[in-house]
Amino acid sequence: MDRHAVLSAVGEFYEAALDPEGAGRLGDAFRRAAGVRSNLVILANHRTGALERLIDVSGNFDEAARRDYAAHYHAINPWYRSARLVRPPYVARGQELIADRDLERSEFGADWCGRTDIFHMIGGVQLVEGDIVVASGIHRPRSEEAFDLDERQAYALVLEHLGRAFRIAMRLGLLRGREAVSLDVIERLETGILLIRCDGELVFANPIAEKLLRANRWFSCRHKRIKPIYADDADRFAAEIASAGAAAASDNHGAPFAVRDPIEGALLLQILPFRPSAPIADASGACAVVMFRDPDRRKAIWPDSLVQAFGLTRAEARLVARLQEEESLTAAAATLGVSEATARTQLKSVFAKTGFRRQGELFGAIGANPLFRR
Same domain (yes/no): 221, 273: yes
> Residue 204: how many CA atoms within 13 Å on its side-chain side?
22
Same domain (yes/no): 111, 132: yes
> Which residue type, as a one-letter code, is found at position 292?
F
Same domain (yes/no): 286, 309: no
Query: Which of 250, 269, 293 is a domain's end point?
Result: 293
Same domain (yes/no): 205, 252: yes
298, part of any domain: no
Report how far residue 59's alpha carbon sits from residue 65's, in angstroms, rounded to the nearest whole number: 10
Query: Which of 257, 274, 293 is a domain's end point?
Result: 293
Q: Which residues contact 148 (CB under 8 A, 6 or more apart)?
A: none
200 near 271, Cβ under 8 Å?
no
User: What CATH number is attached to the domain comprising 318?
Assistant: 1.10.10
Q: Report which of 113, 121, 123, 120 is spatially closest to residue 143, judged by C-alpha positions.
A: 120
- What pTM was computed for the model? 0.49
Q: What's the structural domain count of the chain?
A: 3
Same domain (yes/no): 80, 145: yes
44 DSSP assignment: E
Burial class (CB in 10 A: 0-12, 13-18, 19+), 308: buried
Domain range for 328:
303-372
43 near 52, Cβ under 8 Å?
yes
User: What CATH number is attached to the domain comprising 208?
Assistant: 3.30.450.20
Same domain (yes/no): 60, 18: yes
56 near 45, Cβ under 8 Å?
no
177, part of any domain: no
Same domain (yes/no): 18, 156: yes
178, part of any domain: no
257 near 269, Cβ under 8 Å?
yes
Tens-binned pLDDT, residue by residue, of the chain (374 aa): 555 566 566 666 666 656 555 555 666 776 776 677 888 888 888 888 888 888 777 888 888 888 888 889 899 999 988 888 888 888 899 988 889 899 988 999 888 888 888 999 998 898 887 788 888 888 999 899 888 888 887 788 777 777 777 777 666 554 443 333 344 444 445 678 888 988 889 988 888 888 899 889 999 988 889 999 998 899 999 998 988 888 754 455 556 778 988 888 888 888 888 766 555 555 667 888 888 877 776 556 677 777 877 788 989 988 988 887 766 888 888 888 899 999 999 999 988 888 777 777 777 666 555 555 55
User: What CATH number is attached to the domain comprising 36?
Assistant: 3.30.450.80
358, part of any domain: yes
176, part of any domain: no
Same domain (yes/no): 238, 100: no
Q: Which residues contact 278 (CB under 8 A, 6 or more apart)?
A: 173, 179, 180
43, part of any domain: yes
94 near 2, Cβ under 8 Å?
no
Report how far residue 343's alpha carbon sits from residue 329's, in angstroms, rounded to the nearest whole number: 7
Query: Which of 107, 142, 171 is a domain's end point?
Result: 171
Same domain (yes/no): 12, 105: yes
Q: Which residues contact 360 (CB under 8 A, 6 or more apart)?
A: 263, 264, 265, 266
Same domain (yes/no): 78, 187: no
Report how far residue 80's alpha carbon sits from residue 85's, in angstroms, rounded to the nearest whole number: 9
Same domain (yes/no): 106, 153: yes
